[in-house]
């Protein structure tokens, strides 16, 4: 594929009920072509049930240098983590 085409980030969900995971990137002229290229490249052995492609230019990411500013406020809020809670015995699939 031509590197003159936009770069697309590929996210694949392995099975129902789990998150999409970043698998890599492809160059493609449009979203449909990117989806087909991602399918051919990243799910050759039927690893996925769902694929997302997003133009790399549309991805907004934080700067690693801003780590303290972004994530420090979360300290002391343990209630946000599932390890702070006990599940009833009948809920064994979580």
pTM of the model: 0.67
Question: Would you say 59 and 32 are in contact if contact means Cβ atoms under 8 Å apart?
Answer: no
Measured distance between the N- and C-terminal CA atoms of the chain, rounded to whole angstroms: 42
Give the sign of the dihedral formed by CA 83, CA 87, CA 93, CA 94.
Answer: negative
The pLDDT value given to residue 2: 47
The tens digit of pLDDT for each residue in 25-74 reads 999 999 999 999 999 999 887 778 999 999 999 999 888 898 877 777 66
> Model confidence at 1, in pLDDT bands (50, 70, 90)?
very low
CATH architecture of 7-84: Roll (3.10)
Sign of CA dihedral 30, 35, 37, 38: positive
């Amino acid at each position: 594929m031509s590197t003159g085409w936009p770069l697309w980030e590929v996210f694949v969900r392995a099975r129902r009920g789990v998150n999409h995971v970043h698998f890599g990137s492809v160059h493609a002229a449009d979203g449909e072509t990117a989806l087909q290229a991602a399918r051919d490249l990243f799910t050759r052995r039927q690893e996925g049930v769902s694929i997302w492609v997003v133009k790399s230019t549309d991805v907004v990411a934080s700067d690693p240098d801003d780590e303290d500013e972004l994530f420090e406020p979360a300290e002391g809020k343990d209630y946000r983590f599932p390890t702070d809670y006990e599940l009833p015995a009948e809920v064994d699939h979580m």
